[in-house]
Amino acid sequence: MGILRIGHISIRVMDMAAALKHYENVLGMKKTMEDKHGNVYLKCWDEWDKYSLVLTPSDQAGLNHVAYKVENDADLDDLQTKIEAYGIRTTVQPEGTLPSTGRMLQFNLPSGHEMRLYAMKEYVGTEVGTQNPDPWPDNIKGAGAHWLDHCLLMCELNPETGVNKVAENTKFSIEVLDFFLTEQILVGPAGDMQAATWLARTTTPHDIAFVGGPRMGLHHIAFFLDSWNDILKAADIMGKTKTKIDVAPTRHGITRGETIYFFDPSGNRNETFAGLGYLAQRDRPVTTWSEDHLGSGIFFHTGEMVSSFTEVYT
């Protein structure tokens, strides 16, 4: 079957104590372990594997890698063959390279972002278990994020030089990793340049997204909430904790998701994302947004772009 879903994100933080406080108290994640290098591992209450977020100490914020879980260990061998045949070099990291995780297939997307694939991670169970579970745990903190939902990666896009890493990443993800395209933004004189794409492996509107910018980087990591009411509660928590909000609660046209964008103490952008929007299927027609409707696609209520949303990322 290949890739199942997003598995974890590893990001750099400049103040571990502040970062840990943020992800525990604002998002409601739980620390599951810390390794000898000072890296901290966390999970959300509705996740069953050991961790979905890795915080690594650094003097600069940003992405280390994004990892996706595959169904079977043999899928790693099949995907390695396909990725190498495409012209991208891979490395196999042995079991235990990351704690509680099996061997990993490591490579860089055409944009330069590091991706890893793995089949095994230690199972620890959700906070409510699988035997006659409650709908949510009693010890929930902060926004009570259910799970790591997706990430959006900024990719170099320069029409003057013809560089379009959004299109390159999209082509690779579809042809080699077997993602499928759910939505896209097309720009340019002919309206045929992919400036942003949203791709899925599951039935959510996107498991990864690529957006064009002057340089590669991490735009945001997103955590799933149930509903619009949960989004508003999350905003209240951010207000109480003086968390820096980038975009207050609103709706996307793209994906139809309900959202807040905000920053962790190091400047990594987070999103709380609610509402599945629609059931993503391989035979569902691709939704296309034109350049003149870009504002409504991103922020449906106002139809206006927020400058920091496109200009600030790690």
Active-site residues: which are they?
Answer: 150, 206, 220, 252, 261, 271
Task: Quickly list DSSP for 146-187.
Answer: -EEEEEEEEEEEETTTTEEHHHHHHHHHHHTS--EEEEEEEE
Query: Tokens in use for 59?
Result: 């003097």
What is the distance of C-alpha 241 from the center of its chain? 23
Query: Tokens in use for 259?
Result: 């959202």
For 123, other C-beta atoms within 10 Å of its C-beta total 9
Do 84 and 41 contact (CB within 8 A), yes or no?
Answer: no
Q: Which of 313, 243, 266, 271 is nearest to 57 (CA)?
A: 266
